[in-house]
Amino acid sequence: MTDKQKASEAARERLRAVGLRPTRQRLALAKLLFAGPHRHVSAEQLHGEALRKKVRVSLATVYNTLHQFTEAGILRELVIDPGRSYFDTNVTHHHHFFFEGSTRLRDIPGEGVEVKRLPAAPEGTEVARVDVIIRLKDSPKRRKRSS
């Protein structure tokens, strides 16, 4: 079996597992998202990729699909940048480096950070998720000695 076929199988199986019909669009998007290593994509980015690969799919469907995948638990939505959401194919416990001024995100393994002494969730609520975002800026090459 070719790699392409394997990716198709995997995508089909993934949709079946979460109870979503394996439509042409969803299969194509699932392949783009889950074929290679983990990634962080915006809706526009993914839509662009699909079009480049000659997969005809509307932007509305990309949004619908990303939200369906998120609800199904095979994607995770990240809010990090004002005015744009990212979707993360890595739904295991982990945190993020964010390079300010860019759109780049890098994973930090879940064991790589410990969040200690979390206060209890307020009465009537429970913790849905803990997000740690480490915002990075370029470090100045070298500080001039002050005059």
Of Zn ion, its own copies, DNA, none, which one sits near residue 112, judging by CB under 5 to 8 A according to partner kind?
Answer: its own copies
Closest by CA to 25, choosing from 1, 51, 61, is 61
Of its own copies, Zn ion, DNA, none, which one sits near residue 25, judging by CB under 5 to 8 A according to partner kind?
Answer: DNA
Coil/strand/helix, residue 31: helix
Contact predicate 46/66, CB 8 Å: yes
Residues forming a β-bridge with 98: 105, 135
- Which of 4, 9, 23, 100 binds DNA (CB under 7 A)? It is 23
Of the two residues 23 and 99, which places its CB atom closer to Zn ion in the complex? 99
Longest dimension (CA), the chain: 69
Phi-psi label, residue 83: left if phi above 0, alpha if psi -120 to 50, beta otherwise? left
40 is an interface residue for DNA by CB under 7 A: no
The residue range among 24-32, 47-55, 103-111, 132-140 that interacts with Zn ion, by the rule CB under 5 A, is 103-111
48 is an interface residue for DNA by CB under 7 A: no
70 is an interface residue for DNA by CB under 7 A: no
